[in-house]
Structure 1
Amino acid sequence: MVSETSLPEILRARGLRLTAQRQLVLEAVHELGHATPEQLHAAVREVAAGVNITTIYRTLELLEDLGLVTHTHLSHGSPTYHPVSEDQHAHMVCRQCGAVSEVEPELLAPLAEELRRQRGFEVDIGHLALFGTCGECG
């Protein structure tokens, strides 16, 4: 698990410096759990009003390159980011209410293994989203 406190060391090792914006974006990802760049922008602007959406996108790209965050596509819109420190999981997205819940990788392991065996395809479970209707809406 990579903690927020290790961000300065990770950046220094890559010859980069810690900026307030980088720290704020990483903190917002941890705080919100699953969030789009727009949601992260709104959260960061509550603390630092001058941070623009372009900075959010660039910072998310850097944080993903550093292995601190990852993203998945839970809709036709913007990707959703979450900390890498979380266990790898797939997502279930309700088409009616928009609720997002997590699926343990063990549940999908037989499917992933069968795809690997039959087709040589390695499933990236962390980027997998299943769409349907949740129990509340069904």
Structure 2
Amino acid sequence: MSDLADALRTRGLRLTAQRQVVLDAVRELTHATPEQVHALARGRAAGVNITTVYRTLELLEQLGLVTHTHLSHGAPAYHATSEPAHVHLVCRACGGIQELAPDLFTPLAGALLANHGFAVDIDHVAFFGACADCRE
């Protein structure tokens, strides 16, 4: 049985083709906006419209199967929580995204907690700047 089916059953919900297709699209695309998920999912299951995608992404996030990060001023980008935790580096020039292990930011997170009582959710962190190629 899938993690999605188990999570849904514990809440008294059923597994539908649309829910599975949306989760599969997020896993396949990584860092996908709802519109990108919709574009992939609509060809794989009947009844997958953009409203279904938004509602399903919200449910999947409540179930702890996906999370989102704001990587631009537009729609959030979703990725599966089964992926290793990572911090995002977003190039403002080319739009490229690099992923870094969160342990690089452990000292910063520790300092923020110690000095300000603020616990950082590393999975939602995105740093914006210019990548090495665009800086040249």
Q: Tell me how far 1:85 sits from its aligned partner.
A: 1.0
2:46 & 2:91 partners in 1: Cα distance? 33
**Residues 1-138 of structure 1 aligned to structure 2 (within 5 Å):** 5-48=2-45, 50-138=47-135
Tell me how far 1:137 sits from its aligned partner.
Answer: 0.9
Q: Percent identity?
A: 64
> Which deviates more from structure 2 when the two are superposed, residues 31-40 or residues 6-15?
6-15
3-state SS of 1:18 partner: coil
Spell out structure 1 runs of 4+ moving beyond 6 A.
Answer: none
Deviations 1:32-56, CA, capped at 9 Å, x for gaps: 1110000000000122354110100
Which segment drifts farther, 20-29 or 101-110?
101-110
C-alpha distance in structure 2 between counterparts of 1:7 and 1:106, whole Å: 28
Q: Using the alignment, how far apart are the partners of 1:101 and 1:23 within structure 2?
A: 27
Structure 1 gaps of 5+ residues are: none
1:98 aligns to what SS in structure 2? Answer: coil
Paired residue type of 1:40: V
How many aligned positions are there? 135
**Helix, strand or coil: the match of 2:59?**
helix
Contact kept? 2:60, 2:66, Cα under 8 Å? yes
- The verdict on how the C-alpha distance between 1:25 and 1:96 changes in structure 2, with shifts beyond 3 A counting, is same
| Counterpart Cα distance in 2 of 1:49 and 1:96 | 38
Cα contact 2:26–2:37 (8 A) shared by 1? yes
The amino acid across from 1:5 in the alignment is: S
Partners of 2:27 and 2:66 in 1: CA distance:
9
Distance in 2, matches of 1:115 and 1:42, equals 39
Provide the TM-score with structure 1 as the length reference.
0.94
Give 1:123's aligned amino acid.
Answer: V
Q: Give TM-score, length-normalised by structure 2.
A: 0.95
RMSD (Å), alpha carbons: 1.2
